[in-house]
Structure 1
């Protein structure tokens, strides 16, 4: 039986292998797409949506006009806007991509499968090869189902946040000022 530390090492190594396999040119293209967008809308289903929500929040903290698709405050999407889809393998995601493309939005996929039909509609596919189906083109994981891709997407978008902060000269102080002030922090934490 493996120990906790054995599992920690395995999970970290799988994420390291996945994240270092990402093409740096695609990363820079993603940053450019974000910088040029009027609004940024993000979409993901199930556990993928955890990374979507985290990234939308950080984009908002940096001053980008970002939303999660289907939230009640998300505006219509169109020319000059950007849709970022996490995973992009289901028919539901394909429908969202096609609708956004039809009204002129730019499409970026963060996906293990840029070769699928979804990728045909994308202006940019960032290939993040974490396991989702367990096939040869993916980085194999001992974790269940698409856990590796889910983790890698969360880490990837946090890394993109750090790069945007550096490249757009966005200070941590500015981000803190954009963060909600309704959490009730007091004393030394405020």
Structure 2
């Protein structure tokens, strides 16, 4: 097969394109799913329950992150809005000031990104509660957290050693799925009607 844009010949075997055949793409998908399962199956449910309670009890919820971690956090903010909660993304031009009775949810794999650390410090100084979702339980952000969710990318306590994916990828994938699973649990615990969530979905798209 020839890529017309680059005029570079690319060899594709039938095994690479057949459905269900053990080619390089199917193998890569299995690796990703296996790594995510290893990460998410070892999340402490007590930290999930604490975060869910904070979501319910907070006046407003702010989410923050950088890079692909921010994309995961933004998706979470959207679903919080669908749940009927008041959610804002830090950095948006319409984001109001944070203060007491508010919750900041910070998503950072390293827990050391300067902008997110500064955001957490500012929010704490303003009297807000800080929840941190991170792969680094001993990071500056983790030490600042009132609520900590640890998404371990590797360690001695379970079968996952080190991710074969590019640096940070596993955490970013895991954060998105963690947030989605938390939303689903919240829906079930609080008997949120999916029709009510759908009614809150934007009509400007």
User: Structure 2 length normalisation: TM-score?
Assistant: 0.83
Shift of 1:71: 0.3
CA distance in 1, matches of 2:179, 2:140: 23
Counterpart of 2:3 in structure 1 is none
- How many Å apart are 1:109 and its aligned residue? 0.2
Provide the residue aligned with 1:4 in structure 2: 25
Shift of 1:181: 1.6
1-side partners of 2:139 and 2:165: how far apart?
24
List per-residue Cα deviations over 1:69-101 (Å, max 9, x = no partner).
010111100100000000132122111111000
Q: How many equivalent pairs are there?
A: 180
What is the root-mean-square deviation of aligned Cα atoms in Å? 1.8
Residue 91 of structure 1 is matched in structure 2 by 114
Q: Distance in 2 between matches of 1:47 and 1:118?
A: 17
Aligned-partner Cα distance in 2 for 1:150–1:27: 17
Asked whether the 8 Å contact 1:18–1:139 carries over to 2, the reply is no
**Which residue of structure 2 lines up, in the alignment, with residue 67 of structure 1?**
88
- The answer to whether 1:180 aligns with 2:199 is no
Q: State the alpha-carbon separation in 2 of the partners of residues 147 and 136 from structure 1.
A: 20
Q: Is the 8 A contact 1:129 1:139 kept in 2?
A: no
Give the corresponding residue for 1:127: 150
Deviation at 1:139, TM superposition (A): 4.9
Go from structure 1 to structure 2 and tell me whether the alpha carbon gap of 1:16 and 1:180 turns closer, same or farther (over 3 Å shift): same
Structure 1 length normalisation: TM-score? 0.90
2:187 alignment partner in structure 1: 165
Residue 174 of structure 2 corresponds to: 152
Q: Deviations over 1:101-121 (max 9, x none)?
A: 001000000011121222222
Q: Find the counterpart in structure 1 of residue 9 from structure 2.
A: none
Distance 1:94 1:139, change over 3 A: farther
1:117 corresponding residue in structure 2: 140
Which string of whole-angstrom CA distances, capped at 9 and with x for unpartnered residues, describes residues 26-49 of structure 1? 110110111111000000100111
Which structure's CA Rg is the greater one? Answer: 2
> What SS does structure 2 have at the residue aligned with 1:144?
coil
Q: Hey, what does 2:49 align to over in structure 1?
A: 28
Q: SS at the partner of 1:47? A: helix
Give secondary structure in 2 for the equivalent of 1:73: coil
Change (3 A) 1:35 1:139: farther
